Amino acid sequence: MPIIRVEMLKGRTVEQKRALAEKLTDDFVETCGGNKSSINVIITEIDADDWAIGAELISDRGK
């Protein structure tokens, strides 16, 4: 039971997340083999206030 984890900022639509899960699943099966129905995709959405790059909160960028 492979698990693909995606962590990204909030803001994508359900349609975008659905398309991402489909593409990741298809690419995994194409690359590694396996059964499409056994692939798990977990999407975790994170607020920009809770993610920093280079010690700077993403929410502070561009201010």
Structural tokens at position 23: 């593409």
Which residue is catalytic, options 1, 2, 19, 27?
A: 2
Which fold is adopted by the domain 3-60? Macrophage Migration Inhibitory Factor (3.30.429)
Instruction: Tell me the mean pLDDT per 10 residues along the chain, length 63.
Output: 97 98 98 97 98 97 85
Q: What is the CA radius of gyration of the chain?
A: 15
Is residue 9 within 8 A of residue 48, CB to CB? The reply is: yes
Q: How high is the pLDDT of residue 6?
A: 98
57 is catalytic: no
**Structure pTM?**
0.89
Number of C-beta neighbours around residue 9 at 10 A: 13
- The Cα–Cα gap between 38 and 19 comes to 17
